[in-house]
Structure 1
């Protein structure tokens, strides 16, 4: 709700927006009006629902933003797409600039469909939820080699795998190769039983999780069996030439400088390569230089290589994750 202490008669505003389709209005408001509550909290407005009208009260600029956002979400529903809490959060983060849902006649909203960046997979449509994510996804389509650097929870790996699946099912690449260094995060797991796959799978599980979000289980199993999708530790990349492939190196901060050079030089014809990492979570032994930091220093001036950076503001997991990252960053800066 808007703060009545800060509002004055000169700055207070009111808008009433009509939505003709009550069925779509229910989806627009969300379960128990959760979508309206999220907009109220973020923009500091009050939204009152009366029949098929929504009354918006608050500061003038905030009321305009809320009206524009509600219209954008309604047009999204009219186009046959769903509205989930993540969609509301994403449009709030991007100030509607990432809505890409078209124009609602008679309203101020003007957002052409061409502005939207969407990643189509077999199971779901994925959309960037922050400006940094939007720029990152665009760079994955535009560049043969792209880096995504930032804290946990910002969607670096998830979006990269989504783009890889999209390019694979679109026939732009013949295979997907996902890799990460087999480095333990601060604790020794000891001997792991089983064959080589059993030993390395615990390190690769986040990549399997992402793939399971985008591909049906039976299809994923078949593609893994046929080696059209490969998930392997970084050490297994030596000596290979990765052509006609979408290649992702995850947790790249845990690659040594020699491993990073080895991996980058695997890039073959008609391939895309994405390197993701978090410079604050290096698990290498003390004194060992991170290959991600070296690559950033050495390759930043090459025009055809893109570097994309994320901050705690781009965290799209639980809201507490962003607060936790900010607390650690503040403590590190004070130390």
Structure 2
């Protein structure tokens, strides 16, 4: 059976190279989608306009030499694999659709949403080619409901961006072993490196382990995977009591997960740390405390850059008064709150905070204006990363320069982008793709440390 996929605009914005996912099938891009991409490419929102331009260029690259008739009939998709694809890309002039057939069309007048015109394309193809599998692909949940309610048999979400089938399988950065870890180990080789003990055990003990992952049991053992191959893994023996007694800029961990995050973010060979967890778990506080410690005490970096996206008001930031740091203040108030926590016991907290901001060269940036820049000798904190796409996070990570460390923070339960779910978030993608990279670390900091009221609200409201 021939498969025909009608793509919505948000699919191409979410993954500008989405056409590569349909190489063996017929792909139809409605004219309305091209019109929406044309409108979006000139927006002042740098992220979405850039992705629109990339999607337009990808379509143009395929259709560049084709005649008008070939474009409507379908142009062969280029091959990216050994096998030659049998699929093609076609543009459908949806403005020519009428009610001559029995297809149940939605109202396509200018007063109606463009979504209706795109749905009408799929309904038209389903009516004209009853033997084909016609499917609308969109990331808009309401559009999927409208399409099904209009009689479209096949409607799907774009699933190529999913790195997991279930968010529960996402790596947390640690593995809990019930009982005693050493009861499951048949043989071990222990080496000494100064004051550190390295245990070499079979990988079969924890088969799905990855580099820089923590392993702990109920008897007080805590180890960190320092190296591994197909048969063995090296565990750095960490004393649980020593982990819990870490101090960083006056901050001390309250839970084992916080203690492991403390240790992970401070490792000099780890260039990127991803900290996830619910609101109030201490992610921001840990990232900020180590940044101040590394810059002011260890003299490891020259500046601390705090950045986050500012949707949906990114276009309006330029109209706010003051410098870029002052414009970003409404969105980065959480960092001021955490600075107050770190210096709340000082004799003059306000003066201490202003002194630290100046001495540590703390800079507040909007992710929408970081394109084309490189940050060297910098400690970079990306806040609220759960709302970023895979494409956006990749473009941010590539900005990290020489002798820099980046810490990415996010809570997958607080996604406010209607086209992103926990399974398709750039934060999930980054965690899963980087967990095998020797210079990256992942930690899910669970538990609410703000107050008993905050813990109750997170669990019950």
* 1:184/1:283 contact within 8 Å kept: no
* 1:165/1:214 contact within 8 Å kept: no
Residue 290 of structure 2 is aligned to residue 157 of structure 1: no
C-alpha spacing 1:114/1:254, structure 2 compared with 1 (3 Å): same
Match of 1:326 in 2: 459
The C-alpha deviation readout for 1:111-152, integer Å capped at 9, x for no partner, is 99845543343xxx1001000000011000112211111110
Q: Secondary structure at the match of 1:177?
A: strand
Q: Tell me the distance in 1 between the aligned counterparts of 2:395 and 2:411.
A: 20
From 338, 346, 350, the counterpart of 1:210: 338
Q: Please identify which structure carries the higher helix content.
A: 1
* 1:204/1:232 contact within 8 Å kept: no
Residue 379 of structure 2 is aligned to residue 246 of structure 1: yes
From 299, 310, 329, the counterpart of 1:182: 310
Match of 1:139 in 2: 264
**RMSD, aligned CA:** 3.4
Q: Secondary structure at the match of 1:119?
A: coil
Q: Tell me the distance in 1 between the aligned counterparts of 2:352 and 2:252.
A: 23
Query: How big is the shift at 1:235?
Result: 1.6
**Pairs within 5 Å for 1:1-335:** 114-121=242-249, 125-142=250-267, 143-170=270-297, 171-183=299-311, 193-195=320-322, 196-214=324-342, 217-218=350-351, 220-221=353-354, 224=357, 228-286=361-419, 289-311=424-446, 314-327=447-460
Query: How big is the shift at 1:300?
Result: 2.4
Q: Secondary structure at the match of 1:230?
A: strand
Which runs of 5 or more structure 2 residues have no equivalent in the other structure?
1-217, 221-238, 344-348
Which runs of 5 or more structure 1 residues have no equivalent in the other structure?
1-94, 98-110, 329-335
Q: Tell me the distance in 2 between the aligned counterparts of 1:117 and 1:222.
A: 27
Q: Tell me the distance in 2 between the aligned counterparts of 1:258 and 1:283.
A: 17
Quick check: which has more Rg, 1 or 2? 2
TM-score by length of 1: 0.56
C-alpha spacing 1:198/1:167, structure 2 compared with 1 (3 Å): closer
Q: Tell me the distance in 1 between the aligned counterparts of 2:276 and 2:406.
A: 14
* 1:175/1:246 contact within 8 Å kept: yes
Q: Tell me the distance in 1 between the aligned counterparts of 2:352 and 2:454.
A: 33
Query: How big is the shift at 1:297?
Result: 3.0
Q: Secondary structure at the match of 2:414?
A: coil
Q: Please, which moves more after superposition, 231-240 or 244-253?
A: 231-240
C-alpha spacing 1:258/1:115, structure 2 compared with 1 (3 Å): closer
Q: Tell me the distance in 2 between the aligned counterparts of 1:323 and 1:151.
A: 12
* 2:295/2:360 contact within 8 Å kept: no
Q: Tell me the distance in 2 between the aligned counterparts of 1:115 and 1:300.
A: 22
Q: Tell me the distance in 2 between the aligned counterparts of 1:173 and 1:199.
A: 25
The C-alpha deviation readout for 1:58-95, integer Å capped at 9, x for no partner, is xxxxxxxxxxxxxxxxxxxxxxxxxxxxxxxxxxxxx9
The C-alpha deviation readout for 1:273-300, integer Å capped at 9, x for no partner, is 1111011111113358532122123222
* 2:295/2:302 contact within 8 Å kept: yes
Q: Tell me the distance in 2 between the aligned counterparts of 1:126 and 1:285.
A: 36
